[in-house]
Amino acid sequence: MERELEPIAGFPLRRAVLGILLEAGTALTVHEVVERLHAHGRTTMPHLTKAPAMVISDLLRYQTRIGRVERVACGSYRLATAFSRSTEWRYRNWQRVE
């Protein structure tokens, strides 16, 4: 039986996406981020007209503009900056912090 994905948005979604990039330690494609998010039992809000990959892409594009993430290839992103220890802990443990 397939488990139900819990929808998240806003700050928890940003924390999850950046946590997934931090865990990976390397560049990931948008679709890899979506797959890992689904593997953790989460997804974007189902009532949105955009697919999860589009929501994640928009989020990563904004994070690129403000300098937290860098685009390394078309649709591939990695973290661009180091975080404080407390912020890094919250990103790494995003599943428990919500």
pLDDT tens digits, 50-69: 899 999 999 999 999 999 99
Provide the pLDDT for residue 38: 95
Answer yes or no: is 46 within a domain.
Answer: yes
Q: How many domains does the chain have?
A: 1
68, part of any domain: yes
pLDDT in tens, the chain (98 residues): 467 899 999 999 999 999 999 999 999 999 999 999 999 999 998 877 889 999 999 999 999 999 999 999 999 999 998 889 999 999 989 888 65
Element of type H or E holding 71 = strand 69-73
pTM above 0.85, yes or no: yes
- Half-sphere exposure of 75 toward its Cβ, with a 13 Å CA cutoff? 8
Residue 6 lies in a domain: no
Nearest to 95 by CA among 8, 29, 25: 8
* 5 domain-assigned: no
Q: For the chain, give me the number of helices (H) and strands (E)?
A: 5, 5
What's the domain range around 64? 12-97
- Domain harbouring 19, CATH code: 1.10.10
DSSP helix/strand/coil, 14: helix
Beta-bridged to residue 71, according to DSSP, are: 77
